[in-house]
Amino acid sequence: MRTISTARRIATAIAVATACVAGASVAGSGIAAANVPAIAAEPVNSAQPEWQFEFTAKWTVTLSCYFENLDRTDASGPKKYTGTGKTKDLAEKDAWNKAQADAPKGRKVKHCRTESSTKK
């Protein structure tokens, strides 16, 4: 599989766009007669721009979870865990991870239900 670097792609795009503009500005000369600008041969800085904004929405989800033995006997709970995230799914995953981390030795998390979910 052939991989083309980002700088090559950008340089090619600039060359093609410039050739199209140059060919369109001269009547009857066509793309074949267009000269490729010297700037297209120079390396292009392909640094990614920094984001100008950030999502401000924040979800908070509270889960109610039970713990049971690994042999599926003797459940205990419920215990509540609160998670936060940029999306509802990420907030639920955060709460689930907190429940998993708090599980006593020899027990597993079962039957988690969403008690509440809010977006701020």
63, β-bridge pairs:
81, 114
Task: Give the span between the Cα atoms of 44 and 37, in whole angstroms.
Answer: 14
Neighbours of 34 (CB within 10 A): 19
pLDDT higher at 85 or 35: 85
H/E element holding 7?
helix 6-25
pLDDT at 1 over 80: no
Which range among 55-59, 61-65, 72-76 has the greatest average pLDDT? 61-65
Q: Positive or negative, the Cα torsion across 12, 13, 16, 17?
A: negative
Average pLDDT, the chain: 77
Task: Give the span between the Cα atoms of 56 and 77, in whole angstroms.
Answer: 34
User: What is the mean predicted confidence (pLDDT) over 61-90?
Assistant: 91
Q: Positive or negative, the Cα torsion across 19, 20, 21, 27?
A: positive
